[in-house]
Amino acid sequence: MQFIKQEKVRFQHIDYAGIVFYPRFLEMLNGLVEDWFEEALHRPFSKMHETNGIPTVDLKIQFKNAARLGEILTKKLWVKELKNSSIICGFEFENESNNLVLEGEVTLVNVAFNQERNGIKAEPFSEEMKEKINKYLNS
């Protein structure tokens, strides 16, 4: 199963050439991850970040085609590997013509903050969370 969302390319996303400025894709990816956690895993960032987090520790991305102002991108996310306290997710963005705009892989780690919030450490996912995440596992 994949988690799928759409996003319209807005003026705020583009550069002088009229195409998406590449760091904006990373913001769109982060939004996709945040939506997945809230909508599919029922673990919204607004609650999660009171005690723990899910930082990105590795990111691989390949840009395939430009995206332009006004286009609707279909963003897809799935789980490639679930480990004790981390997830490796695959992702891709396609335009309205089903052309691949970008693809890649992101590694997220489940962490807990100490009381002073000046340090973090990896923390295993709960069994309940593993069950939810497993629904998106694509071998």
List, in sequence order, every residue forming a beta bridge with 88; answer none if it has no partner: 81, 107
pLDDT at 98: 96
| Structural domains of the chain sorted by starting position, each given as residue range(s) with its CATH number in brackets | 3-134 (3.10.129.10)
Q: What is the DSSP letter of 137?
A: B
Rounded to whole angstroms, how far apart are CA atoms 118 and 100?
40
pLDDT in tens, 24-83: 999 999 999 999 999 999 998 888 777 788 999 999 999 999 999 999 999 999 999 999
pLDDT band at 116 (very low <50, low <70, confident <90, very high): low
pLDDT band at 115 (very low <50, low <70, confident <90, very high): low
Enter the pTM of the model: 0.91
Q: Which two tokens stand for residue 130?
A: 């593993």
| Sign of the torsion angle spanned by Cα atoms 64, 92, 74, 107 | negative
Q: What is the DSSP letter of 42?
A: S
pLDDT band at 120 (very low <50, low <70, confident <90, very high): confident
Residues 96/34, Cβ–Cβ less than 8 Å? no
